[in-house]
Structure 1
Amino acid sequence: MTTGVLAPAPATVRPGPPDRSLVLCTLGLAAVVGLSVLIGARSLDLPTVAAALTGQGTAEAAAIVWEQRIPRTLNGLLGGAALAVAGVVIQGHTRNPLADPGLLGVTAGASLAVVVGISVLGFATPAEYLRFAYLGAALGASAVLIIGVLAGRRRDASPASLVLAGAAVSALLSAVTGIILLLHAAALDVYRFWTVGSLAGGRGLDSLAVVAPLMLAGAVLVAAQARSLDAFALGADTARSLGRRLLPVQLIGLLSVTLLVGGATALVGSLGFVGLVAPHIARGFVGPGHARLLPLSAVLGAALVLGADILGRVLVAPAELPVGIVLGVIGGPVFLVLVVRLFRSRS
């Protein structure tokens, strides 16, 4: 997490037409989806999977494909896409190219709510704490917005105010989460698996049905913000001169991020680096324009999460690494490279 406010670096690499980039990346995502359905602890060949998908396979194969691999793949798709799109929105609103979805207190609020649900209310399954995670995400984001607006009143709620408020609220909520876990050690095992980030947490199609409509609403709000985000990238004064009212746009942005990140966190746990890395890769292909940046970021974010999940299944088979650990190993070096490139471009 970073507390500085920097202008996004201009995109200097545009290797092909934007439409072609999106098509090629979408085809790559389709291939990753196919691998996600094929690869698992139980080896199933392509004809067996195809038969299970069409209802002509064995009961065992159908159960593996429809009850485990299909929900897991869909969760990774939606979760990765939502985190990447939320990263674009947060970076646009804060004008901070190193911002990620955890910056506005959404992830920390969801984590605290899950811990309270597990330790106080006795929740034990994803279906039970799903809505609670969303509630915590909304409360965390609301606290950040209120503090940021009050602190930046004279500056019309500048991006710096939101960034600093997000850092403070996230730190506070994380500390409270740690205290509760120390007092309720029995909740640690369930929470540890959830907070690392995993697609193997038993979140089935029923969980997806609860979260998907809210995430779709968040995506619609984001699509409506594309031009406002382009204006924000030019600075607050320029955005005002273009007829953009900062506070209403920030409210809509925070609501969309809450819907997207709350749903993603409920589905796949707390995943880092997706909302940071995917937008930067997308900018390298299509530049800073949000009308093209948002859909490509969604595709890349989904591919990144599913690809990391597949690696986690293969590297230590027949066991598996949680996708959050794989993303941490991959994302850490990538993050350092981004920081070095960013500050070199400023010097």
Structure 2
Amino acid sequence: MTKTMKTASPILIVGLVFLALATLSLGTGSMNIDPPALFSALLGTSDPGTSLIVWSIRLPRLVLAALAGASLALAGAVLQGITRNGLADPGILGLTAGAGLAVTGLIWLQSHGIAVEPHWRPAAAFAGAAFAALVTAVAAQRDGAIAPVRLLLAGIGMNALIGAATLVIAMGLDQQLYSAAVVWLSGSLSGAGWSASTTLAPWLAILALALAAQTRRLDLLSLDDETAAGRGLAVDRCRLRVAAIAVGLAGAGVAFSGGIGFVGLVAPHMARLMVGPKHAVALPLAALCGAAVTVAADLIGRTVFAPLELPAGIVASALGAPWFIWLMWNGKDKKG
């Protein structure tokens, strides 16, 4: 098997899995839609009721789940690369909590009559995630280096601190907004509309393109600093640049999907297991894995426990937590 085929096969397999999950997501719910009727609805040739369900309810939710999952997966892959820590994840390191705090703050402003346009959400989430990342990194440093265990402990502490602050702000909301904030923070995609996806998609596209230009540097950053510097890489400057991209990706994903945890941990590992550590190949596959995992989590949450609907964030955490424990148990705190 040629190198190209070895690379293309996993992407094709995961792509087919994603398409199968997408078909199930669009066709399954309170009213099941068989594949022929679903295809007709997508083409706009079915009855108005079916088209309304597909185009106005299920498809926007599916697209948002895929975009958010891809964003979080890319962020996780970058964080694992630049920290050389296989346990790094936007949620574990506090980025998700920081972004959630910022967006909850925007909701609080809205509750006090200050109009905030939806397109400000990613910017606010980026600021919150950047603050959390900075504090976590500073707290984890010792003698100029960031130890994996210290990074993990600093992230846990940051999550607890920001979680408490977020709860305090949320308690200042009226009952309706408080309920909405709690549901959003749990990673629910219920009620997702096209506006969220059309706002998130440009952010993801721009940041993904910026990341694509850094794949060779990411490969060098995955080595030790001395080796990377010896090959001509400005290590600190490059690490800061790609970290900013990761923070932006995490913030954008959280801004519209809420706290969907462990996607950024699991998806990069899945990708590297299939295609190896080279970021030029692993990053696109990680994004596809992240999209598939998030769509699967949302599908499970709204169908398996029907009529009760569990947020995708809760299902993703239930699926991802055992993986996290396994990584810790096997001592895989190094990337790959």
* Structure-1-length-normalised TM-score: 0.84
Q: Distance in 2 between matches of 1:119 and 1:344?
A: 38
Secondary structure at 1:342's aligned position in 2?
coil
Give the count of matched residue pairs. 327
Match of 1:193 among 178, 183, 187: 183
Letter in 2 for 1:325: I
Q: 2:237 aligns with which of 240, 244, 248?
A: 248
| Deviation sequence 1:280-326 (CA, Å, 0-9, x none) | 12221112221221111111111111112111222122332211121
Aligned counterparts of 1:316 and 1:167: Cα–Cα separation in 2: 30
- After TM superposition, the structure 1 = structure 2 runs for residues 130-149 of structure 1, keeping only pairs within 5 Å, are 131-142=120-131, 144-145=133-134, 148=137
The Cα shift of 1:193 comes to 0.4
SS in structure 2 at match of 1:334: helix
CA contact (8 A) 2:301 2:309 kept: yes
Task: Name the amino acid aligned to 2:57.
Answer: Q
* Equivalent-residue separation in structure 1 for 2:265 and 2:205 (angstroms): 21
Cα distance in 1 between the residues matched to 2:93 and 2:305: 35
Amino acid at match of 1:335: F
Q: 1:42 aligns with which of 27, 31, 55?
A: 31
Give the corresponding residue for 2:87. 98
1:327 maps to 2:316: yes
- Is 1:29 matched up with 2:18? yes
2:227 is aligned with what amino acid?
T
Could you say which residue in structure 2 is the equivalent of 1:258? 247
Deviation, structure 1 residue 152: 6.0
> 1:151, 1:324 → 2: CA distance?
27
Q: Please say which of residues 82-91 and 130-139 is displaced more in the overlay.
A: 130-139
Correspondence for 2:263 among 263, 270, 274: 274
Provide the C-alpha distance between the structure 2 equivalents of 1:196 and 1:345, rounded to a whole number of angstroms: 29
**What are the residue-to-residue correspondences of 1:119-130 with 2, within 5 Å?**
119-122=108-111, 128=117
Q: Is the 8 A contact 2:86 2:333 kept in 1?
A: no
Could you tell me the TM-score, scaled by structure 2's length? 0.86
Q: What value does the CA root-mean-square deviation take over the aligned residues?
A: 3.0
| Aligned partner of residue 309 in structure 1, secondary structure | helix
Alpha-carbon contact 1:217-1:259 (below 8 Å) kept: no
Superposition map of 1:53-92 within 5 A: 53-92=42-81
AA matched with 1:112: L
| Alignment partner of 1:108 out of 81, 84, 97 | 97
Gaps of 5+ in 1: 1-15
Q: 1:152 to 1:243 in 2, by over 3 A?
A: farther
Contact 1:130 1:266 in 2 (8 A): no
Is the CA contact 1:41–1:319 (under 8 Å) kept in the aligned structure 2? no
Counterparts in 2 of 1:343 and 1:136: CA distance versus 1, 3 Å? closer
Find the aligned partners of 1:292 and 1:276 in 2 and give their Cα distance.
Answer: 17
C-alpha distance 54-139 of structure 1, shift in aligned 2 (>3 A): same
